[in-house]
Structure 1
Amino acid sequence: MTTVGKESQGGAGSPAGADPRRWLALTVLAAMQFMLVMDITVVNVALPDIQSDLGFSHGGLAWVVNAYVLVAGGFLLLGGRLADMFGRRRMFMVGVLVFGVSSAVCGAATESWMLVASRFVQGLGEALAGPAALGLIPVLFSDRKERMRALGIWGGLSAVAGSVGSVVGGAVTDLVSWRWIFFINVPIAVAALIMVGRVMSEKAVARDGRRLDAVGAVTATTGLAAVVYGLLQAADHPWGSGRVLLPLLGGIALLVFMVVWEARTEDPMIPLRFFGNRTRVTTNVVTVAIFAAFFTYMFLFTLYVQQVHDYSPMKTGLAYIPLTVTALVGAGVSTVLMPRVGVKAVMATAFLGGAVALFVAAAGFAPDASFVSGFMPGLLLFGFCNGLAYPALINGALHEVTGQDSGLASGVQTAMQQVGAALGLATLVPFAFRYAGDHIEDGTLPQVAQTDGYALAFRIGAGVLAAGALFILALLEKVDAEMRDPIAEAAEAATGQAAAEPTATGAAR
Structure 2
Amino acid sequence: MYKNLEGRPGTVLAAAAVAQFVAALDMAVVNVALPAIRAGLGFAPLDLSWVVHIYALTFGGFLLLGGRTCDLYGRRRLLVLGLSVFGLCSLAGGLAQAPWQLVAARAGQGLGAAAAAPAALAMITTTFPEGPRRVRALGVWSAVNAAGGALGVLAGGLLTEYAGWRWVMLINVPIVAVALALVCATPADAARLARGERLDVLGAVFATSGVGLLVFGVVRTDAVGWGSPATWGSLAGSVVLLAAFAYAESRTTSPLLRPGLLRSRWVAGANALVFLAAAGQFTAFYFVSLYMQQVLGMGAAATGAGFLPFSAGLVVGSVVATRLTAARGPRACLVPGALLATAGLAWFSLISPHGGFLTDVLGPSLVTSVGAGLVLAPIAAAATTGVAPGEAGMASGVFNSSRQLGGCVGLAVLATVAAHRTGSATGRAALSDGYALGLAVSAVLFVLAAAVAIGALPRRLSAAPAVRTGTRAHHHLEGTRP
Q: TM-score, normalised by structure 2?
A: 0.93
Is this contact kept in 1: 2:67–2:118, CA < 8 A? Answer: yes
Aligned-pair identity in percent equals: 34
Map of 1:463 onto structure 2:
444
Map of 2:99 onto structure 1:
112
Does residue 372 of the first structure (1) align with residue 358 of the second (2)? Answer: yes
* Aligned equivalents of 2:5, 2:256: Cα separation in 1: 30
* Aligned equivalents of 2:243, 2:6: Cα separation in 1: 41
Does residue 248 of the first structure (1) align with residue 260 of the second (2)? Answer: no
What are the superposed Cα offsets for residues 52-110 of structure 1, whole Å, 9 maximum, x if unpaired?
11112222111111111111000000000000111111101110010000000111111
**Bigger shift: residues 297-306 or 474-483:** 474-483
**Bigger shift: residues 44-53 or 116-125:** 44-53
Match of 1:477 among 446, 454, 458: 458
What code does the residue aligned with 2:456 have? Answer: L
What are the equivalent positions in structure 2 for 1:73-472 lying under 5 Å apart? 73-142=60-129, 144-204=131-191, 210-363=197-350, 365-438=351-424, 440=425, 446-472=427-453
* Aligned equivalents of 1:33, 1:349: Cα separation in 2: 26
Shift of 1:352: 1.3
* Aligned equivalents of 1:34, 1:430: Cα separation in 2: 29
Is this contact kept in 2: 1:100–1:185, CA < 8 A? Answer: yes
Pair 465,482 (structure 1): closer, same or farther in 2 beyond 3 Å: closer
Shift of 1:211: 0.7
* Aligned equivalents of 1:140, 1:271: Cα separation in 2: 22
Is this contact kept in 1: 2:329–2:461, CA < 8 A? Answer: no
* Aligned equivalents of 1:495, 1:401: Cα separation in 2: 12
What are the superposed Cα offsets for residues 283-325 of structure 1, whole Å, 9 maximum, x if unpaired?
1112111111111111122222111122111111111111011
What code does the residue aligned with 2:149 have? Answer: G
**Bigger shift: residues 190-199 or 409-418:** 190-199
Map of 1:60 onto structure 2:
47
Is this contact kept in 2: 1:203–1:495, CA < 8 A? Answer: no
Does residue 30 of the first structure (1) align with residue 11 of the second (2)? Answer: no
* Aligned equivalents of 2:229, 2:448: Cα separation in 1: 30
Pair 468,18 (structure 1): closer, same or farther in 2 beyond 3 Å: closer
Which of these two proteins has the greater Rg computed from alpha carbons? 1
Is this contact kept in 1: 2:266–2:464, CA < 8 A? Answer: no
Shift of 1:19: 2.7
What code does the residue aligned with 1:325 have? Answer: A
What code does the residue aligned with 2:384 have? Answer: L
Pair 276,308 (structure 1): closer, same or farther in 2 beyond 3 Å: same
What code does the residue aligned with 1:128 have? Answer: A
What are the superposed Cα offsets for residues 431-469 of structure 1, whole Å, 9 maximum, x if unpaired?
11221125x2xxxx7110000010011111111211221
What code does the residue aligned with 2:452 have? Answer: F
Shift of 1:483: 7.0
Map of 1:4 onto structure 2:
none
Pair 240,332 (structure 1): closer, same or farther in 2 beyond 3 Å: same
What are the superposed Cα offsets for residues 151-207 of structure 1, whole Å, 9 maximum, x if unpaired?
111111111111111011111111211111111111222232233222233255x86
What code does the residue aligned with 2:331 have? Answer: K
Is this contact kept in 2: 1:139–1:203, CA < 8 A? Answer: no
Is this contact kept in 2: 1:30–1:157, CA < 8 A? Answer: yes
SS in 1 for 2:387: coil
* Aligned equivalents of 2:118, 2:336: Cα separation in 1: 27
Is this contact kept in 2: 1:88–1:207, CA < 8 A? Answer: no
Is this contact kept in 2: 1:436–1:446, CA < 8 A? Answer: no
Q: TM-score, normalised by structure 1?
A: 0.88
**Bigger shift: residues 95-104 or 465-474:** 465-474
SS in 1 for 2:254: coil
Shift of 1:267: 2.3
* Aligned equivalents of 2:261, 2:477: Cα separation in 1: 21
Map of 1:501 onto structure 2:
none
* Aligned equivalents of 1:375, 1:188: Cα separation in 2: 30
Map of 2:472 onto structure 1:
none
* Aligned equivalents of 1:456, 1:144: Cα separation in 2: 40
| CA RMSD after TM alignment | 2.1
What are the superposed Cα offsets for residues 5-46 of structure 1, whole Å, 9 maximum, x if unpaired?
xxxxxxxxxxxx983411122112201110111100111111
What code does the residue aligned with 1:457 have? Answer: G
Is this contact kept in 2: 1:64–1:115, CA < 8 A? Answer: yes
Shift of 1:479: 4.7
